[in-house]
Amino acid sequence: MTLLNDLRTRRRRLGVAAACTGLLAALLTAVPAAATPDPGDGPAVQQKVSEGARAEAAAAIADGEIPGQDEIVHSDNIEHLTNIPKDALPGTNSDLAFQGKYAFSGNYDGFRIFDISNPKSPSTVAQVLCPGSQNDISVSGDLLFLSTDSSRSDSSCNSTTQPVTEKSSWEGMKVFDISDKANPKYVAAVETACGSHTHTLVPERKNVYIYVSSYSPNAAYPDCQPPHDGISVIKVPRKTPEKAAIVSFPVLFPGEGPDGGGNPGSPTNPGVSKTTGCHDITVLPSKDLAAGACMGDGILFSIKDPEHPKVIDQVQDNVNFAFWHSATFNQKANKVVFTDELGGGGAATCNAATGPDKGADGIYDIVGKGDKRKLVFRSYYKIPRHQADTENCVAHNGSLIPVKGKDIMVQAWYQGGVSVWDFTDSSKPKEIAYFERGPLDTQVLRGGGSWSAYYYNGYIYSNDIAKGFDVLKLSDRRTDPAKRVRLHELNVQTQPDYFD
């Protein structure tokens, strides 16, 4: 392991060259499972790069400018406690959720439950085989929720891929009972228009509301017709989750014509995604607020009535943002960090050729009061370490680190690793810690790296697409106060009030 004993910016030359209700989920144990992982659900994992880019990567490793293949490097205030490789679920690792002493790890083939009571040595409690990308995951009480955004033959955990043009195909939300963590039970399925790429919980005492984000309608898709300028809202009664059902479909981008409203994308705005729904939504229930990252638009909306959210403000960045991917509020709810997933997470964009403003975070202040609040752009943040052209790298999922009076977050950057950065000054964000691995490959671009990196009860947990589950310990006077903040449950897209 190599330790980088300072936080000097590493600027490199790289990149300047060319189920049915009541179904019991199949638990993977020592016995064979009833279904098999379906590689058809996975993303493209390999792309050719130029001979020059391969030579550049090799030279940068030889010169010590970037870590060697699979080599781990980190700032001296980060300690890598452990890595748990993927086991029975070989698919792409995705999002994370937490409850008590457990971490829940999404995977395109299902989900895995870890006991993290000893963060240095997590143990596997259960592995559930239930293919259906992305298997975006969250938990609330005795319920676990999974998003399915790939066309399946049915809603069961034994389903197979099926063309989206077939009316019988299924995509949507799955609900599991996790009252027994070792034996999750599949209890409900709700089909949603255009599937469920991600979802966000708005928990109440008796019910859990789910905001389902999905996009890319097509006239040839029977269950995903244009325009698709809203979100599905599902109501799940906690005591009778089998009665889960859609209760509304609020239109967030009203407009004339077959395509509705929102950013028109190319050719009007070259290189920008057309808005046909939302990719991800973060809610701040304590403030009745939500922020939506919706392809070509960023929005701020009120969730005082959770079944009927109301848009307050809408912004676009047609110069540097290609795809509005996710959002994070600061604790005071006077800022939002939006991420731009340039290249869809499968491209090498953390290089000099791409520059510091694309594939980055956009920091927006929230000014004004009530329904007159506005999102005002302040600056961009991007990791200051260029990556090889064989490394997919772009801004991705992160969470606040709860330090009173400061705005600090930890964030995943795929093969760019994990970055801890301070945006207390919205106009001058700066990195204060990092962790990364060298390229998975120096000959081709293979998809990998940290999908999600979240702070939970004193530790950073990262779900690496290819390498598995990492646990990091951050020791820094600027973040140490966060260790006193303890949560019983954390779904990052449902931001808690850490200091209430």
pLDDT tens per residue across span 222-246 = 999 999 999 999 999 999 999 999 9
Rounded Cα gap, residues 109 and 111, in angstroms: 7
Alpha-carbon gap, residue 346 to 14, rounded angstroms: 17
Tokens encoding 218: 């097509």
Question: CA separation (Å) from 51 to 55, 378, 391, 442?
Answer: 6, 39, 15, 11
Q: What is the predicted pLDDT for the residue at 372?
A: 96
**pLDDT tens per residue, range 87-145:** 999 999 999 999 999 999 999 999 999 999 999 999 999 999 999 999 999 999 999 99
In whole angstroms, what is the distance from residue 1 CA to residue 418 CA? 16
Question: pLDDT over 90 for what percent of the chain?
Answer: 85
| pLDDT mean over 370-375 | 96
Which pLDDT band, with edges at 50, 70 and 90, does 28 fall under? very low
pLDDT number for residue 330 = 98
E strand or H helix that includes residue 60? helix 51-62
Q: Which residues pair with 474 in a beta bridge?
A: 78
In this prediction, residue 257 has a pLDDT band, given cuts at 50, 70 and 90, of: low
**pLDDT (mean) for 366-370:** 96
Residue 40 clears pLDDT 50, i.e. is over it? no
Which of 13-17, 56-60, 353-357, 387-391 bottoms out in mean pLDDT, i.e. has the lowest? 13-17
Question: Does residue 19 register a pLDDT over 90?
Answer: no
Could you tell me if 61 and 442 are in contact, meaning their C-beta atoms sit under 8 angstroms apart?
yes
Report pLDDT for 311: 97
Residue 12 confidence (pLDDT): 46
Mean pLDDT, residues 288-317:
97
Mean pLDDT of the region 407-415:
98
Mean pLDDT for the chain overall: 91
Residue range 196-206, pLDDT digits in tens: 999 999 999 99
Average pLDDT of the residues in 421-445: 97
Give the separation between CA 120 and CA 404, rounded to whole angstroms: 27
Q: What is the pTM of this model?
A: 0.93
| pLDDT for 16 | 43
Amino acid in the structure at residue 499: F
The verdict on whether omega for the bond into residue 227 sits within 30 degrees of 0, i.e. cis, is yes
User: Given a cut of 50, is residue 168 above it in pLDDT?
Assistant: yes
Look up residue 102 and give its amino acid.
Y
Task: Give the separation between CA 400 and CA 244, rounded to whole angstroms.
Answer: 31
Higher-confidence residue of 54 and 319: namely 319
* Helix, strand or coil, per DSSP, at residue 331: coil
pLDDT category at 35 given cuts 50, 70, 90 is low
pLDDT of residue 41: 55
Question: What would the two tokens of residue 437 be?
Answer: 């691995």
What percent of the chain has a predicted confidence (pLDDT) above 70? 90
255: confidence class by pLDDT, cuts 50, 70, 90: confident
492 confidence band (pLDDT: 50, 70, 90)? very high
**Residue 135: left if φ>0, alpha if ψ -120 to 50, beta else—which one?**
left
> Residue 88 phi/psi, 5° resolution?
-80, -15
Q: What is the pLDDT of residues 473-485, one digit of tens each?
A: 999 999 999 999 9
Where is 166: in which H helix or E strand? none
